[in-house]
Each structure stands twice: as C-alpha cells, then as structure tokens.
Amino acid sequence: MEIPTGVDEVTLYDWMGNSKTVPSPAGNLTLTLGKDPIYVTGVSPRLWGSQAEQPVQIVSQHLKVLDDAPVEITGTISIRSPKPAKRVLFMEPDPALGIPAQQQAIEVAGEKPVPFTFKLQIPSDQPSGTFPARLRLLEDGKVIGTTGLQIELVPPLKVVQAHPAGPDSVWLTLSNDLSQAQAVSLEVQILEPLHDKAEIRPDLPMIDLPEGKVPFERLAQGHTTINLTLPATGTEQALVSFPQASLNALEGYRLQVTLTADSCRPEEKDLPINFFVARRQNQAFAIDGNLEDWQSVPAIHVGKKALFRAKKSWSGADDLAADLRLAWSSEGLYLAVDVTDDSYCQLDTDTMIWRGDSIQLAVNVGDDPTTMVPRNTEMTFALTTNGQEAYRHISFDPPTVPMGPMDLPSTNLSITKREQGLIYEMLIPWSSLGLQNAPEADQTISLAMTINDRDSKNQRDPSALGIFGGIAPAKDPSLFGTLLLAATAD
C-alpha cells in the first residue's frame, strides 16, 4: 500500500521496537503489510496529526453515476499562509474504471479557497460496481494533501431479487430506472456446488458455505437466455425455467444473471437460489404415523450427501437416512419424515433431546417489515422416556411464541417407531411459527432441518443429516433454504 508522508524519509518501527530509516520519494511511502504491525514516524505535520491542514476538500466522497452520465469531481484547495510554489492536483481513479488519470495546476493567491473540477466520461460498457479514486496535491514535487472518494456506477437496469417459482423455475424481479422502456436480454446460468471434489480447479468460483469454501461449476441444461421489454421507470417479473436440468430440491445453487441492453451498461448479479417446494393440501392429513395418505406428495431422499456432523459415527444408509415430505394448508405446515435408523437411542428429555435420535426444525416466516429482524424459531421433536416431546429452543418473540416445552396435541404430532427406524409426522400451526394469519399461495418462508442419530450412550455427539444450514454449527437464519408455498397441484 502507498501512504503520503509529505517528507523525503521516515522511520519505521516493528513491534519489537527495532527501527530503520527509509526513503519516501516525492513524499510517498510504499509498504508491504503482513501479520505484524509497522509503525511510521517522522511524517509531515501538514498531513498527519491534530494540526494537519487537509488542504484538499471535495464536495462528495461518494458519487452515484446512473448509466453513462458524465461525472464531475468538485472541491476546493485551501492553504494556510501560502508561499510561491508549483502546485499540481492529481486525480487518480481505479484502473479498473477504464479512464486515465488527470492533473491540473493550482494557482493559490492568499488563503481564499480555490475551486477545482475534474470531468470524467466513463465508458458505457463498464460493468456496474464501486471504484475508488484518489486526489493528491503536490507542492514542489512533494505531497502536501490527499483525499479519496468512491465512484459507484449504478446500473439503470437492475436484477433486484430471485425466488423459486417451482421445482425447475425461478422468478426474477427486474427494474428499469430510465424514462423509456428498454428491450433487454436476460441470460441466466445455474451454478451447482461440488461438495465432494478433491481437486479445486482455479477456473471455478469459490463460495462460502457452512462447510467452508466450496467450488461451483455450471450445471448441465442450467442455462437460458430470454428477451423481454422492461417498462419505463418500473419493475417486471421474468419467469425463467430449466425443464431439462437435474435439480435437487435440497441443494443450494447460485444464479449468474446478466441483464443487457443496447443503450446502457450491463448488470451482472450472483444470487443464491434453491428449488424447494411444498404444495397446498386441501384435505387434512391424519397425524397418526401412517403415511399412506401422503402418497400424492413426492418424497425427497436425504442421504450421505447431507451428512455434516459426527461423520465418523455414520456407518451407512442403514445407520441413518430419511425420506422427507412437506405440504401446507391454512392450518399450518405439514411435515413427514420417514427415518431409517438401525439403532434407536434417546436418553435425554426436555432441552437436551437434540443429543439423541430427533429432528431439529428451524423456520423463519420472514423478516419483520419494520425492523428487518428475522422472525425465526427453532424446535426439536423426539420420542423420549416421557413419550413424544417437542421443545422450542429459539424464539424471535418469546411472549407470543414461548420457548421451552411445546404444547402440541396428539392430533398435531406423531412420532412412532417402526422396524429399523422412526416416522415423524406433524402439523405445526402457523400461530406456533409466529404468524397471525395463514400465508397465501406463492409466498415463501425459509427453513433448515437436521435429522439427528445417536447409536449408543457412548456416542457423545449425534450424527446428523443437514437440510440447508443455520442450525449447526452456527445459528444463522440467513443460511436457511427458501421454501415456496405453492398452490394445490393440478
């Protein structure tokens, strides 16, 4: 990094107090930073300290630029007790902005501020983003003042958000800030995570997931381009489908979206997406541990790929696997999980039931519209020595959504043993999730789940299959997956 010093040389100290004097050509010092601190002394008091002059003042340190509108950086130069000298003001933008540096001579007469203006013309094909720019004032070849600003290129066409529209489709919300309708091209590519790849190719993007940095690559049949017209100063929803792509409802994908038009710069956006769908159920399920009435709801298999905790304790599909079904109605959220487990073990009760055979479910019914705080709750369900237990560990609003043991009647919860496994079946009322009214079709909520398995009292930490993140190892609603509450199947 480069630091203005305003002097020809400075003294550097390391954390042990060792010092050395180094040159500072033209009043600038270039340093390579590492893990240990470096202390710099001997800089010019005109630049640093409580008495620094700060001769370069700009009107705005954050400029927003729409489309290819010209940019003006304006400000003033003020110098205390000026003496005759050659003064030059340099404007140095980020090279990624695609425009050259500029300079102008500054004539100071007395202490009256001298105005300056730099006019920039940014290429129309420059992608949107935020770019730094630096101003340096030199006096007789030495830096005597410096400041900086951010130039934000705001795309007039924006990809606002994405949410699932079905098991193989997504709604994209697009906006146009221009006063005229725009014919645009929308290119969408799905990226899939490579959880089990030993080799990390340098050409693949790396994205942070709960398990660490994971490479993503293009999904076969996960690419499409559509043309549409965006209304003037308005928004439009575009339905994008991938009927030939092989999509896993429980996988977290990324969308690479590029929105282009002939008249303005392109918009590029990377968005998380998943294709998890629950359909509305008009006829109530009997909560009795018999899943015959669930046959119209496709099961989603949860297996080795979802294993994320105590992996060494997992011995195969007979040890822990599951088939998951979800549906919803005006009454609440339906959940059925048929767990394969060759050794049932639940030694705890009450708050610690998560340590044995159990299901943990976390749901966020949406951020509070006023505070933008997640309205999330986390619950555990288990068959214990006391019978069926449901316990709420986390609540966004304990007075209305109480923590502790949940009072779910037998008509809402059934946990039954079967040969080599357990069947969890439940209806969680919307009020128990924090909603006063039932959601409408095509709304979304977000959730996460772990299916926990303990094989014996000697196993300290349960193995677990994870559906999305946010329960373990960290409690984080932003890692939940999106669940589309779709209308009744045709």
Tell me: domain 157-274, CATH 3.40.50.300, correct? no
Cis peptide bond N-terminal to 473, omega within 30: yes
Mean of pLDDT over the chain: 91
pLDDT digits (tens, 9 = 90+) for 277-286: 999 998 999 9
Task: Name the token pair of 352.
Answer: 């610690």
- pLDDT surpassing 80 at residue 197: no
- pLDDT surpassing 80 at residue 210: no
Comparison of pLDDT for 381 and 111, the residue scoring more = 381
Task: Name the token pair of 220.
Answer: 């076969």
pLDDT the model gives residue 67: 65
pLDDT digits (tens, 9 = 90+) for 70-105: 889 999 999 887 788 899 999 999 999 889 999 999
Of all residues in the chain, the percent with pLDDT exceeding 90 is: 67
- Structural class in CATH, domain 277-486: mainly beta
Which sequence spans correspond to the domains of the chain? 2-41, 56-154, 157-274, 277-486
Binned at pLDDT 50, 70 and 90, residue 427 comes out as very high
DSSP letters for 327-383? EE-SSEEEEEEEEE-SS------GGGGGGSSEEEEEEEEEE-TTT--EEEEEEEEEE
CA geometry: angle 347, 349, 350, nearest 5 deg: 155
pLDDT digits (tens, 9 = 90+) for 140-161: 888 888 999 999 988 889 999 9
Distance (Å, rounded) from C-alpha 285 to C-alpha 293? 7
By the 8 A CB rule, do 401 and 433 touch? yes
Task: Name the token pair of 20.
Answer: 């050395």
By the 8 A CB rule, do 341 and 456 touch? no
Q: Which residue has 């934000």 as its token pair?
A: 152
- Structural class in CATH, domain 56-154: mainly beta
In this chain, the answer to whether the domains covering 56-154 and 277-486 adopt an identical fold is yes
Distance (Å, rounded) from C-alpha 346 to C-alpha 459? 11
pLDDT the model gives residue 372: 86
pTM (2 d.p.): 0.75
DSSP letters for 271-293? EEE--EEEEE-SSPPP-SS-GGG
